[in-house]
Chains A and B, each alone.
Chain A
Amino acid sequence: MQNVEAINVENIKEEPRVSYLTNGFTLKSWLLTKDHKRIAILYLITVSAFFALGGTYASLIRLELLTPASDLLQTQTYNKVFTQHGIIMVFFFLIPSIPAILGNFLIPIMIGAKDLAFPKINLLSWYFYMAGGGLTLFALLRGGVDTGWTFYTPYSTTFSNGYVMAVGLGIFINGFSSILTGLNFIVTVHTMRAPGMTWFRLPLFVWAHYATSLVMILGTPVIAITILLLALERLARIGIFDPAIGGDPILFQHLFWFYSHPAVYIMILPGMGVISELISNFSRKKIFGYEFIAFSSIAIAVFGFLVWGHHMFVSGQSIYAGLVFSFLTMVVAIPSAIKVFNWAATLYKGQISYDTPMLYALFFIGLFLIGGLTGLFLGSMGLTVHLTDTYFIVAHFHYVMVGGQVLAYLGGLHYWWSKITGKMYSEFWSKIASIIIFVGFNLTFFPQFILGYLGMPRRYASYPDEFQVLNIFSTAGASILAIGLIIPLIYLTYSIFFGAKAPANPWMLPGLEWRTASPPPTENFEETPIVTWEAYEFGEESGLDLEDARNRNKVLV
């Protein structure tokens, strides 16, 4: 990569006089921008801040659990810390991370459009995100909540003294950000594709976001309604969930998971889209089974709405309902398996380069395999009776959310970093960091599978002595993971100011985003591109002068 500038000498398009980054320097030009790329940068900054905050809470959790007693934090504080860790990570980091940052930046460019269909609504959704996030932060500073991110009733409506309603309102407002982003993506993909960009020429990243958007639009209103009902009960004492006034606590769990299970797919589908890009492009060949990967995203989005009851196998729900939910849970696992097999098959007879984004993609597959397979443990009713609400489930969803989505996010961020910022990052440090993250992650969360099977319940501020050794492993791993996450913060920030200038297409890849300058001009393309090649086309039809690039590379070597 260090020679990349030299290799691509002629490939670097003359930098447009004004890139999207240099088109206006005032604060107003950022805060009132309608440019999807600038909005993506706004999201990048704010989402990263929330990620750092959520990560700080995670560190506190791991430090507290170093010893069996509740000593570093008081129990009350610990309960708030894990609640806030969950709320911030789920609603303000995982859900917006890939769609609102990478999706926002790339979807219009990938399909050859000038912007999203509704640029003003796109800006509005960032303000919804900020308002929701601000309100939540306010509640956290004023005293926080201790309900767990699941807000189970009647605890959340009757017993908890925290700022439940402020946080609820924050999540409610933030939900509109999701809905509007999803709406924007769907309309954009339908109406704004460049000439020749047929549905089956779309990058799989776009397919994944299309599926994600469906879930955002259909699922998010349900959590909004649920929060409204919660508010009605808390404020007006109308019996909806609390049995003491005629409600049903299980109803809340149904409503909550009807959104929150599909929300899990909001958190992982975009990551899968990133991985499809990385695997195909860094193998320098077409992805294996394009249609199967594309439709598996849609299948996951659809079936994802039918499995919410698998969170409730021990809640007292009918055992026959459990049967149906368990069966559908097994069904929804198949599309994920199909994706993994297709990714592996794509590598066959490729020309694989070992760049940092590709390392992230490989680590993703490894961790997602473990996360997905342990999902089968939890979908199997007989086992889940023992495993649910223990550290096994904590480990499982961190393998999917962190091992999956966060690694995909980091892989995507590195992959498109040069496009977004116009600068190259340190290949050496990025490889080191990715390996540290992989090792630290496994050391943090693998012991938790064992802890879970031993029976350690989640959300415990103190625990019996015999669980301590495994908890020490986990905390040690978390320290390594934290270091691994801080390193990219340093070298990526460094690259913005001191990094080498990025060429338009450092890896000579066929995607439309690589056929415009780095960073792109405000209108994305100087002239509207006409697409004549298939997705991930590395052959003649791609129109890339690969022969020339190879020759120049030989000269250099």
Chain B
Amino acid sequence: MQQETTSWVPLFPEQASTFAWEVDVLYFYLIAISVFFTVGIVAVIFFFFVKYREKEKFATGEEIHGSIALETVWSIIPFVISMTIFLGGAIIYFNQYRPPADTTEIYVVGKQWMWKMQHGTGQREINELHVPVGRKIKLTMTTEDTLHDFYVPAFRTKMDVVPGRYTTLWFEPTKPGKYHLFCAEYCGLNHSGMGGYIYVMEQRDFDNWLSGTESGQTPVQAGQDLFQNKLGCASCHAAGQNQRGAPIEGIYGEEIKLTNGQTVIADDEYIRNSILNPQSQIVEGYQPIMPTFKGQVTEEQLVSLVAYIKSLSGAGGSSQTGSGSTSGGAATGGGTSGGSDANSSGLIPRRANRGDTNSMGSNPNAPPPMSEPSNRQP
């Protein structure tokens, strides 16, 4: 699966997603336009330059004021061409940034300077992501600290990862292989070391990988655990006599009426916001009594809570991934670096010393609290 370098100087990246050829076609179209205009104009200038070299010192050139006709032509033609570039780019952009409905969702949390991925089936990976070929994958991403950007050149797509909100990125891999993952938004000291690899595998290989990897709790299970036990959300939000908080069953994707008369769609962002800033959006008919959970839940826990609430509405394809075992018992003990470096910002995984081990599962019993307040300077 080693990326082959076919020529001495690589000139062109691999095409490994459904976007790749679209982007490349637009790229070559623009190169054609650029070559045409550059060569054309430079040729004309060179021709004039030689032909109209001064006959004698201080001679006077012909008096020509200008030409409205020419000005019109060379304003309209570039405008029309630029509109084709605009439209071509817009169509591809809308494909890139509007995920289709039938995607497999993977959660990504960026952190100085590592990528943490969690599959719907519970597998966790650090700086590596295994995905099957031909499946539409949607990444829901956030970060614990500063801006990052999830960039896979072979897929021709990237997306900023922004603190305090979710961004999404989707792709459909078309070719098995090992591809670079880069952080493309400057994020501090070890920015250039914040990367890894995307492994695109045939479905059979992917199933093998899944079953050979410790899965831990799925995000839905982890979220349920948090909701019912660890954070005690259920004491107010569970249906029954004691219910004081707004119901969470079946709300995902629905319209919610707020006390201020507004209506919002209950999406990932809404759920996240309701946990962190409960006072900002009070559901109609309920009192503003919920305390904030800011600082008490990590980004990974938030992702799990969102996944759990989604699952109560039958939404979110998070638990449909392949045939992976969802029990926590498949641990092989192969992973050594997964859980431990989560707590220690001193252990920065570098591309150079990262092994090829696939087992990056973390300890299911200790969802690692990854926010490191000590990183933050007052």
Q: Kindly provide the distance from the CB of A542 to the nearest chain B CB, expressed in whole angstroms.
A: 9
A349: chain B residues within 8 A (beta carbon): 52, 61-62, 64
Task: Please tell me the number of chain B residues within 8 Å of chain A, measured between CB atoms.
Answer: 97
B55: chain A residues within 8 A (beta carbon): 351
Considering only CB atoms, which chain A residue lies closest to B96 in the complex? A385
Instruction: Determine whether the beta carbon of A155 is less than 8 Å from that of B54.
Output: no
Q: Is B145 on the interface with A (CB-CB < 8 A)?
A: yes
> Interface code A307-327, partner B: CB below 8 Å = 1, 0 otherwise?
000000111100100110011
Instruction: Determine whether the beta carbon of B90 is less than 8 Å from that of A323.
Output: yes
Q: How far is the CA of A286 from the CA of B38 in the complex (A)?
A: 24
Name the contact of B56 in the complex, choosing from A348, A383, A554 (C-beta under 8 A). Answer: A554
Q: Which of A38-46, A119-127, A447-455 contacts B (4 or more CB under 8 A)?
A: A447-455
Within 8 A of B (CB), among A198-255: 237, 242-244, 248-250
Task: Please tell me the number of chain A residues within 8 Å of chain B, measured between CB atoms.
Answer: 106
B45: chain A residues within 8 A (beta carbon): 344, 347, 362, 365
> Interface code B73-93, partner A: CB below 8 Å = 1, 0 otherwise?
011001100110110111111
Q: A334-B75, A450-B11 are in contact. Are A457 and B89 (CB under 8 A)?
A: no
Instruction: Determine whether the beta carbon of A350 is less than 8 Å from that of B48.
Output: yes
Q: Kindly provide the distance from the CB of B63 to the nearest chain A CB, expressed in whole angstroms.
A: 6
Instruction: Determine whether the beta carbon of B78 is less than 8 Å from that of A457.
Output: no
Q: Is B183 on the interface with A (CB-CB < 8 A)?
A: yes
Q: Is A31 on the interface with B (CB-CB < 8 A)?
A: no
A243: chain B residues within 8 A (beta carbon): 162-165
Considering only CB atoms, which chain A residue lies closest to B8 in the complex? A469
Name the contact of B26 in the complex, choosing from A159, A160, A373, A382 (C-beta under 8 A). Answer: A382
Q: How far is the CA of A244 from the CA of B30 in the complex (A)?
A: 42
Q: A249-B164, A330-B86 are in contact. Are A354 and B53 (CB under 8 A)?
A: yes
A365: chain B residues within 8 A (beta carbon): 41-42, 45
Name the contact of A152 in the complex, choosing from B8, B30, B186, B376 (C-beta under 8 A). Answer: B186
Q: Is A380 on the interface with B (CB-CB < 8 A)?
A: yes
Instruction: Determine whether the beta carbon of B66 is less than 8 Å from that of A316.
Output: no
Within 8 A of B (CB), among A286-332: 286, 288-292, 313-316, 319, 322-323, 326-327, 330-331
Q: Is A422 on the interface with B (CB-CB < 8 A)?
A: no
Q: How far is the CA of A13 from the CA of B187 in the complex (A)?
A: 61
Instruction: Determine whether the beta carbon of A508 is less than 8 Å from that of B93.
Output: no
> Interface code A129-153, partner B: CB below 8 Å = 1, 0 otherwise?
0000000000000000011101010
Instruction: Determine whether the beta carbon of A350 is less than 8 Å from that of B192.
Output: no
Q: Is A495 on the interface with B (CB-CB < 8 A)?
A: no
> Interface code B1-34, partner A: CB below 8 Å = 1, 0 otherwise?
0010100111111000000001100110010011
Instruction: Determine whether the beta carbon of B27 is less than 8 Å from that of A383.
Output: yes
A75: chain B residues within 8 A (beta carbon): 189-190, 192-193
Instruction: Determine whether the beta carbon of B146 is less than 8 Å from that of A285.
Output: no
Considering only CB atoms, which chain A residue lies closest to B30 in the complex? A377
Within 8 A of A (CB), among B281-330: none
Instruction: Determine whether the beta carbon of B160 is less than 8 Å from that of A315.
Output: yes
> Interface code B81-116, partner A: CB below 8 Å = 1, 0 otherwise?
011011011111111111000000000000010000
Q: Is A193 on the interface with B (CB-CB < 8 A)?
A: no
Q: Which of A263-271, A335-343, A486-494, A525-533 contacts B (4 or more CB under 8 A)?
A: A335-343
Name the contact of B92 in the complex, choosing from A76, A382, A455 (C-beta under 8 A). Answer: A382
Instruction: Determine whether the beta carbon of A380 is less than 8 Å from that of B30.
Output: yes
Q: Is B44 on the interface with A (CB-CB < 8 A)?
A: yes
Q: A243-B163, A292-B71 are in contact. Are A352 and B78 (CB under 8 A)?
A: no
Instruction: Determine whether the beta carbon of A384 is less than 8 Å from that of B89.
Output: yes
Q: How far is the CA of A286 from the CA of B9 in the complex (A)?
A: 47
Name the contact of B112 in the complex, choosing from A159, A248, A334, A373 (C-beta under 8 A). Answer: A159
Instruction: Determine whether the beta carbon of B186 is less than 8 Å from that of A348.
Output: no
Q: Is A461 on the interface with B (CB-CB < 8 A)?
A: yes
Given contacts A347-B48, A370-B34, A549-B57, 5 further A-B contacts (CB under 8 A): A160-B377, A316-B165, A345-B67, A459-B186, A508-B58
The 4 closest A-B pairs by CB, nearest first: A455-B153, A243-B164, A382-B92, A285-B61
